[in-house]
Amino acid sequence: MYVGTLSFDLLLGDVRSLKEKRSVVRPIVAELHRKFAVSVAEVGDQDLHRRAEIGVAMVSGETGHLSEVLDRCERLVAARPEVELLSVRRRLHGDEDD
């Protein structure tokens, strides 16, 4: 069993309030969940209206499949015109990890 995670650090475009931030972040979270069947949530920077941290997690029996899906998630977020992808942190964990 392998677990893969992604953490996206995003700079939001023309957003002036937390309500506007939700209108940008929620569709991204929903699309990642719907398209790729991953667990996804806003996990940081909730009190900042122009920044967002989105976390993605997935479990798979094969590292190849896991990497492919995480790559597709990263491409989807990077292609969104309303956000600037500042950084991505990726981690893969396997059964042999302590």
pLDDT digits (tens, 9 = 90+) for 72-98: 999 999 999 999 999 999 999 987 765
Residue 98 is predicted with a pLDDT of 54
And the tokens for 57?
């997690």
Res 9: pLDDT: 96
- Cα-to-chain-centroid distance, residue 88: 8
Task: Give the separation between CA 15 and CA 82, rounded to whole angstroms.
Answer: 10
Residue 21 CA to chain centroid, in angstroms? 15
What confidence tens digit (pLDDT) does each residue in 5-61 have?
Answer: 999 999 998 889 999 999 999 999 999 999 999 999 999 878 888 999 999 999 999
Q: Which two tokens stand for residue 26?
A: 């929620």
Query: Which of residues 14 and 66 earns the better pLDDT score?
Result: 66
Q: Are 73 and 7 in contact (CB under 8 A)?
A: no
Residue 40 in tokens: 């996804």
Q: Supply the pLDDT for residue 35.
A: 96
Q: Rounded to two decimals, what is the model's pTM?
A: 0.87
